[in-house]
Amino acid sequence: MRKLLMHACCAPCFVYIENDLRKNGLLLDGKYEKVEYTACFYNPNIHPKVEYERRKNTFKDFCAQKKCDFIVIDEYDLNGYIKYVVENVGKGKKYSYRCEYCYYMRLKKVFEYAKENNFDIVSTTLTISPYQNHDIIKKVGKKLEEEFGIEFIYIDYREHFREGQKMAREFGLYMQKYCGCVFSFDDGKWVY
């Protein structure tokens, strides 16, 4: 059975996907494949730190409750993220906007972990959210796939977003009101 490392941006976005992975497997080209899955929390730019801790702990509690394999890469780096965005993004350099860099730096770390620990596939729960830029996630994932030689699977879970949110509420999970970084906190809404 192939090993999947599923990047989890937060517990509420993981609920539907975890249930689907457990019951059916990973949906590949319209067919389910059973996989061994591990969820990986790596979201170092959540602001403020107390919110980071809250989302991280919600994720850990949820995984423990479901008895699903998980890891937390507990490296908080708000300063590094902000410095990079302010100095580089939108200035004709590598990343045209902050979310592209944000996807890249999170998924790169997940790929590194996958490489070191012999995973076959990487994916992310970001793709259940209608608020994220799916084309850019796909592009970033495919670039990392080439760089690391590990398959990146993009699945458009958006039609299940509301159901997932409902399931998360039923579990009594903490539900955040903004995407995560200080910019989205300041916006007060998920607009990029």
75-106 as b/e: b if 16+ CB within 10 A: eeebeebbebbeeebeeeeebeebbbbbbbbb
Q: Is 105 in the site for ligand SF4 (CB under 6 A)?
A: no
Instruction: State the number of binding residues for ligand SF4 (CB under 6 A).
Output: 9
**Cβ proximity to ligand SF4, 68 vs 82, nearer residue:** 82
Nearest residue (CB) to ligand SF4, 19 versus 133: 133
DSSP string, 30-66: TEEE-EEEEEEE--TT-SSHHHHHHHHHHHHHHHHHH
Separation CA 88–CA 21 (nearest Å): 37
Give me the half-sphere count of Cα atoms (radius 13 Å) on the Cβ side of residue 76: 13
Smaller CB separation from ligand SF4, 128 or 179: 179
> Which residue type is seen at 90?
G
Q: Closer to ligand SF4 by CB, 121 or 181: give it.
A: 181
Residues 44-103 that bind ligand SF4 (CB under 6 A): 98-99, 102
**Residue with smaller CB distance to ligand SF4, 22 or 94:** 94
Q: How far is the CB of 30 from ligand SF4 (least distance, A)?
A: 28
Residue 89 CB, nearest approach to ligand SF4 (Å) = 9
- Binders in 163-192 for ligand SF4, by CB under 6 A: 179-181, 183-184, 192
Distance CA 66, CA 64 (A): 5
Q: Is the dihedral of CA 175, 179, 180, 182 positive or negative?
A: negative
Nearest approach in angstroms of CB 104 to ligand SF4 is: 10
Residues that bind ligand SF4 (CB under 6 A): 98-99, 102, 179-181, 183-184, 192
